[in-house]
A = this chain, B = another copy of it.
Amino acid sequence: MKKLMTAAAVMAMFAAPAFAAGDAEAGKAKSAVCAACHGADGISTMDIYPNLAGQKAAYLVSQLKAFKAGERNNPIMAPMAMPLSDQDMEDLAAYYAGL
């Protein structure tokens, strides 16, 4: 019984996580629209917009979700986040976190 539980625990570790990991290459392709304000390399072109390069991936995902849900109010970011799927957000976050 103990072995069975261990096996089940090991299998659970390899099961799909609660959210899919981001794909930085896919994120790069999706980042074109972000570049206007956040810079082609994730370094913002204006002092009022945040740099995204090297930012924590989980933080980036949480903020994109907050913009989409209207929990973080921002008239520029709300329509940007609206069409993004969870996977899009993970991909973008993986891309910017890796810069």
A contacts, CB < 8 Å to B: 44, 46-51, 54-59, 62, 71-73
B72 with A48: CB separation less than 8 A: no
**Copies of this chain per assembly:** 2
Q: Which residues of B contact A49 (CB under 8 A)?
A: 56, 59
CA distance A58 to B49 in the complex (A): 8
Whether B73 lies near A48 (C-beta < 8 A) is no
A-side interface mostly: loop
Contact (Cβ within 8 A) B44 A48: no
Known: A44-B59, A72-B73. 17 other contacts (CB 8 A): A44-B56, A47-B56, A47-B57, A47-B59, A48-B58, A48-B59, A48-B62, A49-B56, A49-B59, A50-B56, A50-B59, A51-B54, A51-B55, A51-B56, A54-B54, A71-B73, A72-B72
Closest to A56 in B: B47
